[in-house]
A = this chain, B = another copy of it.
Amino acid sequence: MSKNALQPPRGTRDFYPEDFRRREWLFDHFRRIAHRFAFEEVDAPMVEHAELFTRKAGEEIVDQLYHFEIHDRHLALRPEMTPSVARMVIARAGSLRMPARWFTISQNWRYERMTRGRKREHFQWNMDIWGEPEVTAEAELVGSIFALLDALGLARGDVKVRVNSRALLEESLRQGVLADRPEIFEPLCIVIDKIAKVGPDTVIGQLVDPAGGVGLDEASAREVVGMLSARSLDEAAGYVSPDSPALADLRRFFDLLDAYGVRDQVVFDASVVRGLAYYTGIVFEAFDSGATLRSICGGGRYDGLSEKLGGKPLPAVGFGFGDVVIAEFLADKELWPELPRPLDDMVFALGEAERPAAVAIASRLRSQDRRVELVLGSPKLKRAMTDANRAGAARIWLVGPDEVQRGVAKVRDLASGEEHEEPLDA
């Protein structure tokens, strides 16, 4: 066995008990909020047919696929959950109650270059609404994001959501660069998604480069990048007709956010387009207001995905909320709680002769759903007491020869230090 094989593969994580408790604390919050919003949990295999994920829009996520052939099948670890959920919805589209509100908490895999804060696996909370064309669905999703942030203990203002609409961008470009070539819209979105990271000049270069699949002339590329600087709906309105459906949707969306009490946490930003090819309408991302971390979550409307995968047309909107960035942010804000090992009772036999009595006590307590450590081996009592105290146990039960003879166990309350006796055959 090489030393290498004793480590988790690069970019992946082990979860020791203390790590796992933190992970579960976070996932429990995901679950509780999802249930409050009447979403139902689903799951799909982590390994799918690679074809489900391979699209043609130059997306990073497809380039980073973990894929392999096995017995003539081309399989892949899922890089994101949405295509799997879409596949499940399509398979039962005729019989599902719509709109379907589904959530998942799933591990996704991306073979990417390792940089700070990037891993090759991460967990993601996905919330999707299928079958609802109205922005009431987007509003419900953004409402759930803030409900989660509130529950985690973050203050209003710690996280902002940036919103745009691909439909608005598409309308803005429809009479221009998309007039003859509507097919460049997806790759164009993929390119401009990186503007915050690579800057406008690089984006203009990529929009002009014919190898990138967009191939604009430089003036058009500059015009597109110019549009991305709009930071209010009124500003963006200048690029579309007054009766723009996309603009009306955005206005209605913001009005609904008012009812959710989160209007002031959400800003319009024309540069937000998200990096996945399949978005078609409103897109959004949440980020820490100090903007020191990668985005906390992101999502949007993807009305075309069902059809693209061979299903019938079906509107859909969703978001993914990863476990890594929020974990860093909660650490920065010192919001992770202490999460001690869950333990109610410790049961300690002073010698091997008393072990059956100790087992009987432990069994009785366990049948009352108490969490009970039956001390194994022959540690010193003092060590067992220290362990019990550290775990926050309520009581330690001591069984020695004298107690067994008298048919009792000594019970020490670890908070008060008081002791009493309990009969062995209660």
Contact = CB atoms under 8 A, between A and B. Distances in A.
A291 interface: no
Contacts of A363: 143, 259-261
Copies of the polypeptide in the assembly: 2
Interface string A22-60: 011000000010011110111111111101100000000
Contact of A48 (B9, B23, B367, B377): B9
Given A36-B370, A137-B376, 19 more contacts: A1-B309, A2-B51, A3-B310, A6-B309, A6-B310, A6-B311, A9-B45, A9-B47, A13-B45, A14-B88, A15-B42, A24-B41, A36-B372, A37-B372, A38-B371, A68-B70, A140-B376, A259-B355, A259-B360
A370 B33 CA distance: 10
A147 interface: yes
Contacts of A371: 35-36, 38
A324 to B, nearest CB: 14
B341 A9 contact: no
B51 A111 contact: no
Interface of A: 1-9, 12-17, 20-21, 23-24, 32, 35-38, 40-49, 51-52, 66, 68-71, 73, 75, 77, 87-88, 90-92, 97, 99, 101-102, 107, 109, 111, 121, 129, 132, 134, 136-137, 139-140, 143, 147, 255-256, 258-261, 308-311, 341-343, 355-357, 359-360, 363, 366-367, 369-374, 376-377, 387
Contacts of A8: 44-45, 48, 87
Contact of A9 (B17, B20, B75): B75
User: A-side binding surface: helix, strand, loop or mixed?
Assistant: mixed
Contacts of A4: 49, 51
A148 to B, nearest CB: 11
A20 B42 contact: yes
A7 B52 CA distance: 10
B68 A9 contact: no
B341 A40 contact: yes
A319 to B, nearest CB: 16
21 contacts: A1-B52, A1-B309, A5-B48, A5-B51, A6-B52, A6-B91, A7-B91, A8-B48, A12-B45, A13-B45, A14-B44, A14-B88, A20-B40, A37-B366, A38-B343, A40-B341, A47-B121, A68-B69, A132-B377, A147-B366, A147-B367
Nearest to A4: B49
B9 A377 contact: no
